[in-house]
Amino acid sequence: MGSTVHERTSAATKLRNLIATPGKIILAPGVYDGFSARIALGVGFDAIYMTGAGTSASRIGHADLGIANLNDMREHAEMIANLDSAVPLIADADTGYGGPIMVTRTVQQYARSGVAALHIEDQVQTKRCGHLQGKQLVPAPDFLIRIRAAVAARHAVSSGIVIIARTDALQSFGYDEAISRLRMALEAGADVAFLEGITSKEEARRAVKDLAPWPVLLNMVEHGVTPNISVHEAQEMGFRVVIFPFAGLAPAYKAMKEVYTRLKVEGVTGAETLMTPKQLFEVSGLKDDLEIDAAAGGTAFSGGV
Ligand SMILES: C[C@](O)(C(=O)O)[C@H](CC(=O)O)C(=O)O
């Protein structure tokens, strides 16, 4: 037998405890790849959020139109969740990627990959970002089947993974239908409600009240259909989780576009704003990796890098 093993609280349990803390709001910035996740982890948050839109953009180079599949999403989520397993990862799981059998695989695979929470919605398979027009939905009973499958799958693997039920019904079916779908999902065992595409602050407040005592998540997509709501305001409204999916992707686009354009036009990147290779690698865990190597007696980097 080797040395004693101390099991750490899983990220899912940690997130559950945070959600259960009265008055607490969990702020999760959107991350879309390993580098953005490292930067957010370095800043330090209670949790981080893997945006499906950002994953589609960065991993497969496509828009958020249901093109990234379970394998794309799960693999990406596993990499991000395990950069720092002490910080819970909330990950987009779109529609669950198929019928109840696929939803089961999705929940089980996300749970085994170390993901702390996932959201499953009621759009059709050929889904689109919740802030685009023309969304099509599955009937409420089909959404319920997805949620039931997700809850059963969580039990089957004895995982604490937090199941977030998302409805996109607001756009085409209106507020009452959206709230009724979320209530149904919560009664079926989902842990958190996610009303997608909230259109006003009044609606945001009302949703939290109408869904109480269940915890509600706010999706703060800037320049989408939701007005800007700060973390402080969201907390005061009673939301328990707030995600900012594009917090990393939108500024990254702007910065990269600027530098690539300068390079093309002026033949230089504007190097004064850039970092040394070593500084860049430090963002991505250089120090920890060197320590692992040294602790195991490795000598490859003993002379420094
Ligand atoms: C939350 C979301 O699912 C995401 O992928 O981050 C998107 C964000 C977006 O594309 O606006 C959504 O709201 O559908």
Please state the ipTM of this predicted complex: 0.96
For residue 216, the cross-strand partners are: 193
pLDDT digits (tens, 9 = 90+) for 159-200: 999 999 999 999 999 999 999 999 999 999 999 999 999 999
> How far is 241 from 259, CA to CA, in rounded Å?
34
pLDDT digits (tens, 9 = 90+) for 122-157: 999 999 999 999 999 999 999 999 999 999 999 999
CA of 245 from ligand 1 middle (Å) equals 6
Identify the band that residue 273 occupies on the pLDDT scale cut at 50, 70 and 90: low
Task: For residue 30, give the DSSP letter.
Answer: E
Question: Residue 194 has which token pair?
Answer: 């996610």
Does the CB atom of residue 219 touch ligand 1 within 6 A? Answer: yes
Predicted confidence at residue 8, as pLDDT, reads: 77
Predicted confidence at residue 1, as pLDDT, reads: 54
Does the CB atom of residue 52 touch ligand 1 within 6 A? Answer: yes
For residue 50, the cross-strand partners are: 31, 91
pLDDT digits (tens, 9 = 90+) for 51-100: 999 999 999 999 999 999 999 999 999 999 999 999 999 999 999 999 99
Pair 26, 15: CB distance under 8 Å? yes
DSSP line for 1-20: --S--PPPPPHHHHHHHHHT
The count of residues in the chain is: 305
- What value does the mean pLDDT take over residues 229-251? 98
Kindly tell me if the per-residue pLDDT of 274 is higher than 90.
no
Identify the band that residue 7 occupies on the pLDDT scale cut at 50, 70 and 90: low
Does the CB atom of residue 153 touch ligand 1 within 6 A? Answer: no
Does the CB atom of residue 11 touch ligand 1 within 6 A? Answer: no
Kindly tell me if the per-residue pLDDT of 107 is higher than 70.
yes
CA of 214 from ligand 1 middle (Å) equals 22
Which of 73, 219, 220, 226 to mutate for ligand 1's pocket (most ligand atoms within 8 Å of CB)?
219
Q: Can you give the pTM of this predicted structure? A: 0.96
Which atom of ligand 1 is closest in space to residue 121's alpha carbon?
Answer: 3
What domains can you pick out in the chain, each with its CATH number? 11-248 (3.20.20.60), 254-296 (no CATH)
